[in-house]
Structure 1
Amino acid sequence: MENIYDNETFFYKYSQMDRSQKGLTGAGEWPTLQKLLPDFKEKTVLDLGCGYGWHCLYAAKYGAKNVTGVDLSKKMLTVAKQKTKEYPVHYLQADIATISFPADSFDIVMSSLAIHYVADFASLIANIKSYLKPEGILLFSVEHPAFTAEGSEDWYYDDNGNILHYPLDHYFTEGLRKTNFLGEKVVKYHRTLTTYLQTLLKNDFTLLDVVEPLPPKDRWHEDGMKEELRRPMMLLIKAQKN
């Protein structure tokens, strides 16, 4: 049940990130994601890869009658439980790729930057389809296929350390990528935009939104933020089960 987020060094580095310390407002994609959120009032909600529980807390604050957060990291869940102990939220330590629930359990399934850690996207979506209610909403974010394709997830630099460009290579070769995140080796899985969208369509989902979020203008002054305008880093997808 252990993963990289339960590594002491990695977890400390992650805890220092803006999205860890400031919550949703510290995430560059949040202004865009917030506009895509469904109405949570009286809904049953599942957050796959819930991490610190920020999205669980948001759903509960906006009226969800029951929220379930799933994450593989014990350390993440310990933090999440402290945030939401006054709300109808409970957590399960489990693999989001294989966890199962009774049919038609949830009105809304969310996932933030977790699905690119899942090897078999088709099985995951089929599983989600089984426990999402008819006309239920699936909303998730992943690292953009253009960002994950080459594998290094880093820029090319000149001899003086200035950014030249971002590499795009092996785009159509899907599968495992070993990259560096916060100075640690991390395994992720690359898949094309076609795979993301066609898998949903083949599982009888209707696409509602597909967005490549830009960093908010009020954060462009931050170190490295303007570079985010040079290539897509994230992909947001919202779909409805038919």
Structure 2
Amino acid sequence: MEQNLYDNPVFFNMYKNLRETKITYNDFIEQPAIRRLLPNLANLNVLDLGCGFGELTTYMADNGAMHVTGVDISEKMLAMTRKHQRIDYIHSSMEEVQFNPNAFDLVVSSLAFHYIEDYNSLMSRISKWIQPNGYLIFSTEHPVVLADQKQEGWIKDANNNKIHWPIANYGEEGRRTQFWGIDGVIKYHRKLSTLMNVLIRNGFMIQEIDEPESIPEGLEQMPKLISERMRPSFIVIKAQKLK
């Protein structure tokens, strides 16, 4: 099922205002981690799936990529991207976009795959698009974040201190519905083993896995990020396409 949250005006404005603060989980946890795992971008042909405002897309083009293709389902998000001579943007869902075999040296995706229902199908298609020895680097919400069916957040004590994060339904993969700016946001929970094994079955070798914590600047500006040591928000995976 394709889900286009970001063209919902309420959700879009909430998300846009949040990202413009530059004081977010993305800025202090996820983006530093995913950028650290990028290979040398010089002369690479890159695909960014779920590119959003094009921030990572632009970063890669500015840091040596020969060409970057950004794909996003949201017209509103793509309208905010910055024009760049080495970037092309495609308005499409990840489920529908098509590319030729071996078209890219590197495929990246930032916090988008947890919106995709059929993870195996997507990985099968991505594997065909990547040249042998090319890379797939992506972040997604950590399996422990989406484990609980209720999606009600931290368990707290009488003084509102965080005690623990519920993962009671970890083994029950599938749809999770939560409130995030609007009601009815749908994400898909997958076990860590599923994330790994689907990659392996589709011809990838896992090179590195990161469960990142905040950079020091983030802890200064968002002290609550210390709770990432209790429960990681994200997992970032770097995999190489085998021959």
TM-score greater than 0.5 by the shorter chain:
yes
What TM-score, normalized to structure 1? 0.92
What pairs with 1:1-242 in structure 2 (closer than 5 Å)? Answer: 3-17=4-18, 19-22=19-22, 26-80=27-81, 83=82, 85-151=83-149, 152=151, 154-221=153-220, 222-242=222-242
Retained in 2: the 8 A contact 1:56–1:69? yes
CA contact (8 A) 2:47 2:104 kept: yes
Relative to 1, partners in 2 of residues 1:88 and 1:23: Cα closer, same or farther, differing over 3 Å?
farther
Contact 1:45 1:64 in 2 (8 A): yes
- C-alpha RMSD of matched pairs (Å): 1.9
Deviations 1:100-159 (A, max 9, x none): 101110110000000000001100000001111111100000000011110416112234
Task: Say which SS state the counterpart of residue 107 (structure 2) adopts.
Answer: strand
C-alpha contact 2:139 2:237 (8 A) present in aligned 1: yes
Runs (5+) with no aligned partner, structure 2: none
Gaps of 5+ in 1: none
State the Cα distance separating 1:218 from its structure 2 match.
Answer: 2.7
Counterpart CA distance in 1 for 2:187 and 2:214 is 23
Return the alpha-carbon distance in structure 2 between the equivalents of residues 50 and 23 of structure 1: 19
Identical amino acids, percent of aligned pairs: 38
Q: For 1:27 and 1:34, how far apart are their aligned partners in 2?
A: 12
- Amino acid of the structure 2 residue aligned with 1:88: R
Paired positions, count: 238
Contact 1:13 1:182 (8 Å CA) reproduced? yes
The verdict on how the C-alpha distance between 1:70 and 1:234 changes in structure 2, with shifts beyond 3 A counting, is: same
**Aligned partners of 1:70 and 1:36: how far apart in 2?**
21
